[in-house]
Amino acid sequence: MCGFFAVKGPEGKSLRPPGKKPAALLAYLAYRRGKKTTRDRLVDLFWSDRGQKQGQDSLRQAIYVIRHALHHQSATILISDRNYIALDRDQISYDLWREDGSIHESVHDELLEDLDFISPVFDDWLLHARRDVRNRQISRAERLLAGGDPDVAPEEALDIAKIILKLDPTNEPAARMAISIHAKRDEIGHGHRIIQALQKRLQDDGLDISEKTQSLYNNVISAPTDVKPHSELRAKKPKPETVTDLPLVEVGMPVGDDNKSSTFDLSEEFFDRLVSRMIQMPELRVRALGTSDTFSHSAFSLRLLPSVKNDETRIVLRLSSGDGEAFWASHAPVTLHPADEHIEAQVDKSVIQIISAIEENIYRHLKRPPMKTMS
């Protein structure tokens, strides 16, 4: 029922009738799930531009095409008499509904996607049916999210929130749930992407993000991370008494047209871990930027860019001073399915290089020795 309309027999063979109107008629009866429909109603749906007799003749012809397509299954599945037509719902399984009749909230394809422009009356019915299916899917997912046990696994709650956002990209409660769960997992980049997508869809509708959602997001990006330094960065270093004397680094990752690709996903994973590690370093102050934020002119800027060269995916890192002067660049190779150790090693290496480059830049401009906090 969702996506392109398809009918398959017990052995997986396609039983879809030829022609758009016979297929649409079968789809409509299937959507009714066993409820009887009068022949007059079906004529009005599909042949309202014809006279009553001609419409009834067209209906009989379409029923014949459907019976022929269903072969021997038609004798038990398709139920008809002089006044009514229906399908036996007990002999049909659906992708849209569970056996208990509840709707599948995780099916995202559009209802009967390939059955537009059949007839004006049917098209109007289909528009309302699609809206009804989406509303019911969202309502069920929202009930699952709001009424769930507090001990429900975060992964399950996150999956439900993502389902809601796919069905309704402007649903702020679902966005807040997803951002909160990602924050607990130190996945800052995921929160950036969710807030950006939410903001764009709301702006398209002439709306703004609510204060509640914006406040949650601000708290997330300003909260300290619980990630511990790794390997050679594990040693504790004394923090200066005046933290405002520390160089401020703004870290951002622009989003391009490939923001749904595996390359972007890898960049986002690297971004999350890099920011978490940099926040732990006492030599720096760090501000993580959303993809829609702009870099200021009063801080160092670190841009992360996904890149593919010679079939190798890598993360390009570029450092600039507050006046826009680019003074350091590097790249970190990653794989499509990187192990945690691989990412951690690349992050550690990058952080060491970033701190060294900033120290040298400060020394060059202020004519003073670089900081001696690293050993």
* pLDDT, mean of each 10-residue run, the chain (375 residues): 90 91 96 94 94 93 93 82 92 85 77 93 94 85 69 74 87 90 80 84 89 86 51 41 67 60 61 79 79 76 78 81 85 66 78 85 64 44
Query: Where do the domains of the chain lie, and which CATH numbers do they carry?
Result: 20-139 (1.10.10), 148-223 (1.25.40), 226-375 (3.40.50)
Note if the pTM is more than 0.85. Answer: no
Q: What is the pLDDT of residue 291?
A: 64
CA dist., res. 24 & res. 114, Å (int): 9
Q: What are phi and psi of 2, to 5 degrees?
A: -100, 140
Q: What is the pLDDT of residue 47?
A: 95
Q: What is the pLDDT of residue 263?
A: 53
Show the tokens assigned to 198: 């939410």
Q: What is the pLDDT of residue 234?
A: 38
Q: What is the pLDDT of residue 257?
A: 44
The SS3 assignment for 314 reads strand
- For residue 153, what is the DSSP state? -
Q: What is the pLDDT of residue 117?
A: 92
Q: What is the pLDDT of residue 336?
A: 54
Q: DSSP letters of 87-143?
A: E-GGG---SSB-TTS-B-TT--SPBTTT--SS-HHHHHHHHHHHHHHHHHHHHHHHH
Residue 335's nearest CA partner among 266, 286, 278, 272 is 266
Show the tokens assigned to 262: 């595996």
